[in-house]
């Protein structure tokens, strides 16, 4: 039989972790000042008067580098637990991780050949 009382700590944690952000938003909405004016509606640039338009178009290279960084960051997140338990997992998991790394290498070689990693 499935016993729900075994998960009491989980439900308490879930309830508390849901209530705290909701309370924070409600309290800040009640206590925050709501005065609007030209100073409040202007953009802020480190205390300097803004010059030009606030909508600046960035080059696609920034996004490509960010995307490559995120891919390899996620790779590290996936490979770290595997590396910590490598001795108990066996050969099949090693082959799966090898395929995973090979797919990432093929993707990075493709991005390199397409010129996505060239800055200039």
Domain range for 108 is 6-114
84, part of any domain: yes
pLDDT tens column, 96-106: 888 988 998 89
58, part of any domain: yes
Contact in structure between 68 and 117 (CB atoms under 8 Å) = yes
Give how many domains the chain has, as a whole number.
Answer: 1
Q: What's the whole-model pTM score?
A: 0.48
Mean pLDDT of the chain: 82
pLDDT tens column, 21-66: 999 999 998 998 777 777 777 776 676 776 777 677 777 778 878 8
Q: What is the CATH number of the domain that holds 60?
A: 1.20.58.1610
18, part of any domain: yes
45, part of any domain: yes
60, part of any domain: yes
119, part of any domain: no
Alpha-carbon distance of 81 to 94, in angstroms, equals 12
86, part of any domain: yes
Structure tokens given for 94: 């090693």
């Amino acid at each position: 039989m499935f016993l729900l009382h075994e998960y009491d700590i989980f439900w308490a944690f879930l309830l508390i972790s849901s209530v705290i952000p909701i309370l924070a938003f409600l309290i800040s909405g009640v206590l925050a000042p709501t005065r609007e004016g030209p100073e409040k509606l202007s953009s802020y640039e480190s205390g300097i008067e803004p010059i030009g338009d606030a909508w600046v178009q960035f080059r696609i290279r920034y996004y490509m580098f960010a995307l490559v960084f995120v891919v390899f960051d996620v790779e590290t997140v996936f490979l770290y637990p595997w590396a910590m338990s490598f001795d108990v997992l066996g050969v099949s998991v090693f082959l799966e991780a090898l395929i995973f790394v090979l797919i990432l290498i093929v993707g990075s070689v493709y991005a390199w050949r397409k010129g996505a990693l060239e800055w200039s």
